[in-house]
Amino acid sequence: MSDKLYPNIINGEYLPAASGKTLALTNPATGDALGAIPLSSAEDIDKAVTAARAALNGKWGRMTASQRTKILFKAAELINARAKEIAELEARNMGKPMMHVMGEVKQAVEDFEYFAGAASKIEGRVPPVHPVFFGYTLKEPVGVVGAITPWNYPIMLESWKVAPALAAGCSLVLKPSEIAPCSANILVEILHDAGCPEGTVNLVHGLGESAGAALVKHRGVNKISFTGGTDTGRVIMKECANDMKRVMLELGGKSPAIVCEDANLNDAVLSSVFTIFYGAGQSCDARSRVYVHEKLYDAFVEKFVAATKTLVVGDPLDKNTHIGSLAHASRLPVMLKFVEAAKQGGGKILCGGEQLKGGLYDKGTFFAPTVIVDLPEDNLCVQEEIFGPIVVIGKFANDDEALAKANGVKYGLCATLYTESMPRAQKFIRGLHSGIVTVNTPATALPGLPFGGYKQSGVGREMAMETLDTYLETKTVLSGVTGKPINPFGLTLS
């Protein structure tokens, strides 16, 4: 049994929770103990926010943009140097294949490099105004940021929030998911080693309903940046309205892939297999609905199922593994609930649909990659985010029907289109109610391109210059140029 504690880091100090309580962590693929985190409360959050405010008013707040740039570039360098260590820790913490996690750690490096360069590009404007005035704008940090991150891409999504906040000059309190929190400790250590003054980035572990809720409610926090489920995001948005906190929400998805009749069939199959089963489907942009033109449908389904059956589900540390375990045992009954809903709705399970058993599988939380067909559009599996290795494949007769089905859910994060016709691609790009549209590629998230969604998929964009502006306030400055105050009423005083 591991007795390692991943402590809170507040004002540069390594601390337990004020209550002394801890939460045990388990490797979801093996059942082995990983250690524990503090179960923090409002008292710990208050201490962290106080430290962040002091840093903002102190050494960190006095740093120039060029100094912040150097710190962020150094952080990128240090993350890269410890990439293998971070990736192995995350693979053990959440059950994702290490080769996949390595790619996510490398993107974290790119995120810090991108925003390191952006820190010195923060500029106001001097708009033309009446000649008796001089007006300009300043960009200033929004203040203390509460960053709440999920378990499916730990260090990558932490970087999506921490890097732009620091580039803008904000200070932070980071609350990672209690399911996969370990790499957050390495990230905060790296930021201190890179030159962040104490209190600039504070780490508080704990549950969402206690530590997370306390962070959202704290009056000393100026902005909440949250990635997670839509239901939780809705609660956070309502709470932030009480004191008008700025809020960024990257929420759920039920993203479609659309395979047109002129698509390259084999390419569309292999790409679509990746877009749903990468990370065991535990991704907000997983293309969990695939709509195929009726002329290609039968061939596509046959090839898709055949490809799915070749996927290796196993040890996350084995380089041959395609799919690891689910991130937590609590996900298993959720998967079974959706499979049952599909059966009740008349769907056919072409492969998977069950927890894997025997050998290695008995030690962890493994679920078979699952393919379902013949479901009506109002079925739970079609409408709701599953967040697991389950895909629904349907058919369409024409472009308009494909668009109607693709847009027929409450989410609008991502959509992928397979076609060799650029005019058709343009029609779909304009017609899809989605924050991200990809054409003939499974990729969705690259630094410099805004990531975020329409409808109930969230508010705001991450990973781009548009992101930086959400961590800044705009101040308008106006002065007269005559050398003395203007007297509009024309009054005189004796």
| 134 and 225 fall within a common domain | yes
> Domain of 417: which CATH number?
3.40.309.10
| 218 and 343 fall within a common domain | no
CA 224, chain centre distance (Å): 14
| 238 and 264 fall within a common domain | no
Report the pLDDT averaged over residues 300-327.
Answer: 97
C-alpha distances in Å from residue 388, one per residue of 287, 330, 370, 425: 11, 12, 9, 29
The domain tally of the chain equals 2
> Domain of 139: which CATH number?
3.40.605.10
Residue type, 387: F
The answer to whether residue 447 sits within a structural domain is: no
| 229 and 266 fall within a common domain | no
The CA-CA-CA angle for residues 97, 99, 103, to 5°, reads: 115
Chain segment 84-103, per-residue pLDDT in tens: 999 999 999 999 999 999 99
> What pLDDT is recorded for position 1?
41
> What pLDDT is recorded for position 71?
98
| 101 and 169 fall within a common domain | yes
Contact (CB, 8 A) for 369 and 279: no
CA 390, chain centre distance (Å): 20
> What pLDDT is recorded for position 162?
98
The answer to whether residue 427 sits within a structural domain is: yes
Tell me what the pLDDT averaged over the chain comes to.
97
Confidence of residue 3 (pLDDT cuts 50, 70, 90): confident
C-alpha distances in Å from residue 427, one per residue of 362, 399, 437: 48, 9, 12
State which residues form the domain around 130.
8-251+457-477
C-alpha distances in Å from residue 172, one per residue of 276, 392, 437, 453: 33, 40, 32, 24
Return the DSSP state at 66. H
The answer to whether residue 444 sits within a structural domain is: no
The answer to whether residue 482 sits within a structural domain is: no
Cite the active site residues: 161, 250, 284, 462
Chain segment 357-387, per-residue pLDDT in tens: 999 999 999 999 999 999 999 999 999 999 9
| 140 and 277 fall within a common domain | no
| 314 and 413 fall within a common domain | yes
3-state class (DSSP) for residue 138 = strand
| 324 and 359 fall within a common domain | yes
Contact (CB, 8 A) for 370 and 389: yes
Give the span between the Cα atoms of 296 and 12, in whole angstroms: 59
Q: Which helix (H) or strand (E) holds 271?
A: helix 265-277
Q: Which segments of 4-73 are extended strands (E)? A: 8-10, 13-15, 22-26, 33-38
The answer to whether residue 176 sits within a structural domain is: yes
> What pLDDT is recorded for position 2?
63
Report the pLDDT averaged over residues 337-365.
Answer: 97
| 399 and 417 fall within a common domain | yes
The answer to whether residue 492 sits within a structural domain is: no
> What pLDDT is recorded for position 488?
86
The answer to whether residue 446 sits within a structural domain is: no
> What pLDDT is recorded for position 483?
79
302's CB contacts (< 8 A; 6+ apart) are none
| 94 and 233 fall within a common domain | yes
**Of residues 389, 243, 229, 233, the one with CA closest to residue 309:** 389
| 322 and 403 fall within a common domain | yes
List the beta bridge partners of residue 309. none
| 276 and 147 fall within a common domain | no
Chain segment 185-238, per-residue pLDDT in tens: 999 999 999 999 999 999 999 999 999 999 999 999 999 999 999 999 999 999
**Of residues 82, 85, 86, the one with CA closest to residue 74:** 82
Contact (CB, 8 A) for 381 and 345: yes
Contact (CB, 8 A) for 37 and 206: yes
Torsion of CA 459, 464, 469, 472, to 10 degrees: 100
The answer to whether residue 489 sits within a structural domain is: no
DSSP assignment of 363-431 equals GS--B--EEEES--TTSHHHHS---SSEEEEEEESSHHHHHHHHT-SSEESEEEEE-S-HHHHHHHHHH
| Torsional class of 331: left (φ above 0), alpha (ψ -120 to 50), beta (otherwise) | alpha
Chain segment 420-451, per-residue pLDDT in tens: 999 999 999 999 999 999 999 999 999 999 99
